[in-house]
Structure 1
Amino acid sequence: MFKKRNSILLFITVFADMMGFSVIFPIFPETIKYFLAISGDPVFNYFYQLALSLGGLEKPEFIVVLFGGILGSVYSVLQFIFSPFWGRLSDSLGRKNILIFTSAGNLIGYLVWLFSSSFSLFLLSRVITGSMGGNISVASASMADITTSQDRAKGMGMIGAGIGLGFIFGPLLGGLFSGTELHNLFPSLSGFGFTVFSSSALVSLLVAIINLILIIFLFHETLSSSDKKEKIESPFSHPILSSSKQSFRVLLFVSYIYFLFIFSFSGFEFCLNFFLNEAKSFTPREIGMTFLYIGLIIIFVQGGIVRRVSGKVSEIKIILSGVTIISLGYIGLIFLSDGNFGLFASLGFMSFGSALIHPGLSSLASLRSSSQEQGKNLGIFRSFGSLARAFSPISFALVYFGYGPYFVFILALGFSIFLGVSLLVWSRNE
């Protein structure tokens, strides 16, 4: 009974985490434009002058993308630092305790976002939620606790399905509520600093509250006493610098492949918002519906196909199949994205491929870890994804405005082919 309930609650936890992260996607351009329209914030003025020095005067739209890249990078750098730490701490203190702490931290971050009338407060909310971004790594470790090696991919597929569902509802709700201004709905609260994006923040806050309540009262600890590590490792040293075991080197290679995948896919995903807004003239609501389409495909593949092939097809074959399909999607975007049919067909291939790669790599990383180090190792694995998300927004933004969106598609395709070849060569020598 506890296993089924915990699986559902872990699904809800990663859903809430990803929904809170992605709700801002369709309103990112408008949020930055809002802060551009007001002045006086010293932090904002610093980054504004930086953007001007990098060419923002000649290309004003570059300023919007650069600010978006900075905000995305801050969040992801903090995730890279803290995700392994929360994972290691959960190996000693238990999964439930850490999930409660990080979920409560996310709740506080969304509360700050709700009343972020200045850029500094908005940045602070991203710092808090980024620091607490250990939910997915701890949830993955908890799922590993309650699954066997035979059904590990199925369990990770369920985690992936939660991520996919959050990816559906986050942008969708962000787009749908983008035109709802809370100070008009609640005039008595207009003095609390509500902005044009506070309604989206309120949605994230409410989901975080529900998630925290469910974890506190319904979640059952998955880490057995015999598997808990007695010694808590230092929080001040990143675990990728502290081990040289062969099994750990294998984990680092899998994490490296994950880095390449997330770097290319999240960089494309970041630029997609601006491509749809500028090149295709999509509104925030239409962008939200586009992400709904992407998320529905991801949830279908991870919640259906991956669960059915788990234990029957090797993780390597699942990943390589995903790389092939996502590469076809990038090729479609290069040649067919002028028309909406070609655009959505290509996005469909990309979504399908990414939905295979993610749980395949997660399962591979988990299977290479002992029961005593699931939290630490999956934290390391997830932190590589966070590191990729830290660099990809700004990197791909520079490519986008230096060479155009189609060069972004070509670059993402190149990364996908390279990681596929690297994984194929490694698997044959393993």
Structure 2
Amino acid sequence: MTLHFVETTVNNVLHLSCFGFFNKGESRLISSLNPELLEFHKHINGGSIGLLQSSVKALQEKLNIPEHFNSVLTGGVLGSLFSFLQFISSPLTGCLSDYYGRKPALLISMTGIAASYALWVIADSFFIFVLARVVGGLSKANVSLATTIMADITDASIRAKAMALIGIAFAIGFIIGPVTGAAFSVWGVDSSEQGNWWYWPAVFSLCLGTLNIAFVYFLFQESLPKDKRARSLQLNQTWNLVNPVSLFKFQLAENIEKNDLAKLRLLGLVYFLFLFLYSGLEYTLTFLTHLRFNYNAAQQGKMLLFIGLLMAVFQGGLVRRVKPGKEKFISIVGLGVIIPSFVIIAVADNAVLLYTGLALYALGSAIVIPCLTAMASAYGRVDQKGAVIGTLRSLGSLARALGPLTSSLAFFVFGAGPSYFFGALALLVPFFMLKNSTL
């Protein structure tokens, strides 16, 4: 490699790591506050938060389900909406970045995210809060772009390590975000006459989003040279960007060798099934602890701090050291660990058992996605990386769009234990698909 390429690679890896910290800090801050945010908006709107809550309440009364489960299904709908919008935007943004370059697409995406936090700052109604989530969902292609950039600047020998660096940065954000969010929420309650405790977490998120834009604008170096970009922008393929059938077939990545395309499609299916099940159970975790253990925002923050610390250790100590060709084995280990973690969480009736399950959960979470992504990023030409990774991330967004809603509905109807048991059992499908494959 030339000296310039080495310098660009090192700089971008460092900058993307900081980007990952800012990004995950913002998103996990909101996750830790979700149960209390919904309760807050329900309270200030006279016991109702609009058509969504009214519909959930009608279903709750018809099925004779305890009313305190309503927030779970309401949150699941909002979580799925956010990821559905990300599902629409990620592959389109990836293809645009193949033609115009990564940096412009990344900046536009992050500007939209900052705008969503600005709306959250002024969200004195449930409608504006939902609008903020809509804008954020449409703009959340930045994570997909970051992964694509890592694929641009690395080769197979160091790709897993590079993906792990972003993962480590995400884990650090996972640590900082919930804790600061919980702290700001307590401060907000103490310092606001109206009890609008969400105001300061929203301001903090907006500051992180703004710092992220400035950081990338001034320090990030374009990773896709003009001579390696796609020669044309094929907007006539827009349908393929949002059509699930086309996505599972990876139709945007043209002219990949037939055998490689078959492997990529299988990998995409494994990725989708895992994230569909995992994201649903992940999303309902804070609702489970809120309802079963009566955790408040501060306690949720401590729980997510524990998970984040372990993820940082596992990603820094294990994933970063994965040798080329070993990504499949490590992914299988991660899947094998996550399955019992959900069983333990399902039966946990005390903090010790809960945190035992969370420790296994953190290990599996830390290693599966980076390794599966590193495997997928090895396929396709340089000018196809955006399409390949964008499609993979879009499959993940589709899974995350369906997962929270499905899991929340199961939680709402059957309770936490059965929904987590079923999820753990269903995770055996992607586990054996990957284990028995020739990837």
- Of 345, 351, 357 in structure 2, the residue corresponding to residue 333 of structure 1 is 345
Q: Does 2:210 match 1:209? A: yes
Tell me whether 1:390 sits opposite 2:401 in the alignment: yes
Cα distance in 1 for residues equivalent to 2:389 and 2:109:
16
The offset of 1:63, in angstroms, is: 2.2
Q: Which moved more, 1:136-145 or 1:227-236?
A: 227-236
Given that 1:29 and 1:64 are in contact with CA atoms closer than 8 Å, whether structure 2 keeps it comes out as yes
- Supply the distance in 2 between the matched residues of 1:133 and 1:41 (Cα, whole angstroms): 31
- Superposed counterparts of 1:74-223, under 5 Å: 74-181=81-188, 184=191, 195-223=196-224
For 1:250-261, list aligned pairs within 5 A.
Answer: 250-261=263-274
1:142-161 CA distances to partner (integer Å, 9 max, x unpaired)? 11111111111111111222
Hey, what's the Cα distance between the residues in 1 that align with 2:291 and 2:24? 25
Q: Is 1:21 the equivalent of 2:21?
A: no
Q: Using the TM superposition, name which of 143-152 and 250-259 deviates more.
A: 250-259
Paired residue for 2:240? 238
What is the letter of the counterpart of residue 225 of structure 1? K
Deviation (angstroms), 1:325: 1.6
Taking the aligned partners of 1:373 and 1:182, their CA distance within structure 2 comes to: 49
Letter in 1 for 2:266: F
CA offset at residue 32 of structure 1?
0.9
- Cα separation, 2, equivalents of 1:78 and 1:171: 24
Secondary structure at 1:52 match in 2: helix
Between the aligned partners of 1:263 and 1:19, the Cα distance in structure 2 is 23
2:4 alignment counterpart = none
2:381 to 370, 391, 402: 370
- CA distances 1:156-203 after superposition (whole Å, capped 9, x unpaired): 111222222222222222222122228947x9xx9xxx9321111111
1:315 to 307, 313, 327: 327
Of stretches 277-286 and 77-86 in structure 1, the one that deviates more from structure 2 is: 277-286
- The within-5 A match list for 1:66-77 is 66-77=73-84
Matched, 1:2 2:13: no
Q: Which residue of 2 aligns with 1:296?
A: 309
Q: Deviations over 1:363-394 (max 9, x none)?
A: 01101232111111111111111111111222
Are residues 415 and 269 of structure 1, via their aligned partners in 2, closer, same or farther at CA, if it must alter by over 3 Å?
same
Following superposition, the deviation at residue 87 of structure 1 comes to 0.9
Determine the C-alpha separation between the residues in 2 that align with 1:183 and 1:91: 48
Give the whole-Å Cα distance in 2 for the aligned partners of 1:288 and 1:93.
39
Deviation at 1:51, TM superposition (A): 0.9
The answer on whether the counterparts of 1:302 and 1:359 sit within 8 Å (CA) in structure 2 is no
Report if aligned partners of 1:78, 1:131 keep a CA contact under 8 Å in 2: yes
CA contact (8 A) 2:72 2:411 kept: no
Amino acid at match of 2:422: L
Which sits farther off after the overlay, 409-418 or 173-182? 173-182
Residues 251-290 of structure 1: matches in 2 within 5 Å? Answer: 251-290=264-303
Alignment-derived partner of residue 226 in structure 1: 227
Counterpart position of 2:3: none
Which residue of 50, 67, 81 corresponds with 1:45? 50
Contact 1:25 1:174 in 2 (8 A): no
Number of matched pairs = 419
2: CA distance, partners of 1:171 / 1:183: 18
Alignment-mate amino acid for residue 337 of structure 2: I
Mean Cα displacement is larger for which, 409-418 or 325-334?
325-334
User: d(CA) in 2 for partners of 1:202 and 1:310?
Assistant: 41
1:317 deviates by: 0.5
Equivalent in the alignment of 1:54: 59
| CA displacement, residues 74-109 of structure 1 (integer Å, 9 cap, x when unaligned) | 110000000111111111111111111111111111
Deviations 1:85-136 (A, max 9, x none): 1111111111111111111111111000111001111111101111011111
Q: Give the Cα–Cα distance (whole angstroms) in 2 for the partners of residues 214 and 152 of structure 1.
A: 23
Gap change, CA 1:341 and 1:195, over 3 Å in 2: same
Q: 1:366-424 deviations in whole A, cap 9, x for unaligned?
A: 01232111111111111111111111222111211322211122122113211110112
What SS does the aligned partner of 1:180 have?
Answer: helix
Deviations for 1:24-65, whole angstroms, at most 9, x for unmatched residues? 1222111111111233899x4211221123125743223211
> What displacement does 1:310 show?
2.9
The amino acid of 2:33's aligned partner reads I
Report the equivalent of 2:359: 348
User: Shift of the alpha carbon at 1:299?
Assistant: 1.4
Q: Which runs of 5+ in 1 are unaligned?
A: none
Mapped to 1, the partners of 2:387 and 2:182 lie a distance apart of 36
* Structure 2: distance between partners of 1:291 and 1:78: 25
TM-fit CA distance, 1:280? 1.4
Contact 2:184 / 2:197 at 8 angstroms: preserved in 1?
no
1:299-342 residue CA offsets vs partner (Å, 9 max, x unmatched) = 1111221111232x51110111111122232233345x223222
| Structure 1 Cα separation of the partners of residues 76 and 308 of structure 2 | 22
Q: Is the 8 A contact 1:13 1:135 kept in 2?
A: no
Aligned to 2:18: 12
